[in-house]
Amino acid sequence: MKKSWTWFAGLTAVLVFGILFSFRIGYFDKAPKEIPKQFLDLEVEIPGQSQNYLNILQNGKKIGYVMSTMAKRENGYMVGETAYMELTAMGTVQKTRMVTTANLNPDMTLDSMTFQLSSEMVSFTARAWMEGSVLKVRTGKGKDESIMEFPMKSPPMIDAGLLHMQAVKNLKAGEEVVYPVFDPATMGNWDTTIRMVGMDTVKILDETVSAKKLEISFMGQTQTAWISEEGEMLVQEGLMGLRLEKTSRLRALDEETIEGGDDLFALATVPVDVPLMDPSKLTFLKLKVYGADHVAENLNQGRQSFSDGVLTVQVETLPDPTIDIPYTGDPAFLSSDAFIQSDHPEIVQAARQIVGEDDSPQEKARKIIQWGYEELEKLPVLSMPQALETLRSGQGDCGEHAILTAAMARAVGVPARVNMGLYYVHGVFGYHAWNSFYVNGKWISGDATVGQFPTDAAHLQFAQGGYEVQLEVARLIGRLKLEVLEQKK
């Protein structure tokens, strides 16, 4: 096996990164209902230009910084934010920079926005803009460009304006507001709840100041924030000891003061009370699961069953490859998107070189999995996994493996999904991504990171979809507890 510890490193960092900045990177509304009018009743005095600097701390150690700017312009506002972090996962330091710029209308609704996430290995860029009541999001450039459209039922907003909203400023202790939002990084729809806890004090730049204490809930994770009367972020605390704290420009941008935080992989793993047998030979596993009720529906499908908190996993048997049963399910699992670019010529060509014209769907899936296992270098990568970028770089962790594998399978006509959950390695469960393929009338799991088809019973699936499910799975961090009830080879 190849560098097994690094399979989880990049993915774990992405999960934590996403939750920490869930309220920082900017959101757009795509709600089934309109935002109440009073939520858009803006009565706020914003100076001609304001700047805010925050250190990013993990358990008291600086691991990065955030600098944000908000300025008036003739027809609205311009906002910008740059975040730099050095995250440690499995002993590997991931230096990551995230840049968001946006033009807002006078009522704080969105006109246009650009989002970029870059690390030492890869980068991801998305641009969003409004055309009438449709939000358009573009990723890639030139021949690699992809444009998605999202009809909007109410004016789209980003987080830079939310804390300045009169509805938030007027909250009394115990009151809350909910904003349905769309996140350009995940292309997913989520609700953000802002609840007023009450007045409090915080220490900022060696001074104790009065502040409003808020609870910000996103995807089941709750962060605490302290803001000024003007809506300026003073302190924000997230999971795993992460904290954003207002500071001066000089203190924030001084990268020499970055110490490096705790290993995120070690903090996010889920231990078990009884060691598992050789996972590659495990065909049956029964566990008591605590803290996963909100994903119970995801646990109870396919090769898994979930009842009364007990999860049972039974490895699938491969169907007869000579049986030809056409796929009539969700066409999305055969389609291309911004991350799984299955119709791109480079991916189509690469996939066709791996499989044979007369191969059965089962044989195509097996060959693609084996190719990914043998040819892709196992390295932790902190970015949005994209199939084309992974094919060109030839490296990545489990997220990149799963995204590229899905793209290649779809490119040769095999329906493929991305699974997210846990995998057992070296005595603990870590967050992991793999695939399922519709072959000869049946969905079968496969994992290009470890070269398995079907996968062993130590793969526990908690979610299914594209990149957006990574942040859904992040809700499990710090909540899960597992007890082994039964296991069989």
What is d(CA 372, CA 368) in angstroms, rounded to the nearest whole number? 6
> Both 310 and 252 in a single domain?
no
Residue keyed to tokens 């409003």:
212
More confident residue, 152 or 234: 234
> Both 218 and 306 in a single domain?
no
> Both 257 and 275 in a single domain?
no
Is the peptide bond prior to 454 cis by the omega test (within 30 degrees of 0)? yes
Within 239-356, where are the H helices? Answer: 249-253, 264-268, 296-299, 345-354
- Mean pLDDT rounded to a whole number for the chain: 81
What is d(CA 404, CA 392) in angstroms, rounded to the nearest whole number? 11
pLDDT tens-digit series, residues 99-139: 888 888 887 778 888 888 887 766 778 888 888 888 888 88
Whether 371 is in a domain gets the answer yes
Whether 1 is in a domain gets the answer no
- In a 3-state reduction of DSSP, which class is residue 382? coil
More confident residue, 477 or 486: 486
Whether 143 has a pLDDT exceeding 80, the answer reads no
Q: Which of 153-162, 194-203, 324-333 has the lowest mean pLDDT?
A: 153-162
Whether 16 is in a domain gets the answer yes
What is d(CA 241, CA 474) in angstroms, rounded to the nearest whole number? 15
> Both 226 and 298 in a single domain?
no
pLDDT tens-digit series, residues 428-462: 998 888 999 999 899 999 999 999 999 999 999 99
> Both 309 and 204 in a single domain?
no
H helix or E strand, kind and range, residue 435:
strand 428-439
Task: Choose one of 208, 241, 264: the last residue of a domain.
Answer: 264
pLDDT tens-digit series, residues 397-411: 888 899 999 999 999
pLDDT tens-digit series, residues 261-274: 777 777 778 889 99
What is d(CA 457, CA 423) in angstroms, rounded to the nearest whole number? 9
The helices-and-strands tally (H runs, E runs) of the chain is 11, 25
What is d(CA 371, CA 354) in angstroms, rounded to the nearest whole number? 7
C-alpha to C-alpha distances, 284 to 166, 281, 303, 353, 439, nearest whole angstrom? 55, 9, 10, 35, 22
Q: Please state the domain count of the chain.
A: 2
pLDDT band at 150 (very low <50, low <70, confident <90, very high): confident
pLDDT tens-digit series, residues 370-391: 999 999 988 777 667 789 989 9
Task: Choose one of 238, 264, 290: the last residue of a domain.
Answer: 264
Residue keyed to tokens 């803009």:
129
Q: Amino acid letter at 173? A: A
> Both 413 and 442 in a single domain?
yes
Which domain, by its residues, includes 357?
270-488
Task: Choose one of 264, 285, 311: the last residue of a domain.
Answer: 264
> Both 288 and 319 in a single domain?
yes
Identify the CA nearest to 218 among candidates 246, 180, 166, 171.
180
pLDDT tens-digit series, residues 157-195: 766 666 666 677 788 999 998 776 655 555 555 667 889
> Both 253 and 386 in a single domain?
no
Residue keyed to tokens 């399978």:
409
Which pair of tokens denotes residue 173? 């202790």
Which pair of tokens denotes residue 346? 């480079």
What is d(CA 261, CA 252) in angstroms, rounded to the nearest whole number? 16
> Both 34 and 158 in a single domain?
yes
Q: What is the DSSP string of 133-164?
A: TEEEEEES-GGG-EEEEEE-SS--B-HHHHTT
Dihedral sign of CA atoms 246, 251, 254, 257 in order: negative
More confident residue, 383 or 310: 310
Whether 132 is in a domain gets the answer yes
Read off the CATH number of the domain in which 414 is found.
3.10.620.30
- For residue 31, the model assigns a pLDDT of 33
pLDDT band at 147 (very low <50, low <70, confident <90, very high): confident
Q: What average pLDDT does this structure show over 147-163? A: 71
Do residues 385 and 467 make contact, with C-beta atoms less than 8 angstroms apart? yes
Which pair of tokens denotes residue 475? 């809700």
Identify the CA nearest to 415 among candidates 442, 381, 451.
442
> Both 126 and 38 in a single domain?
yes
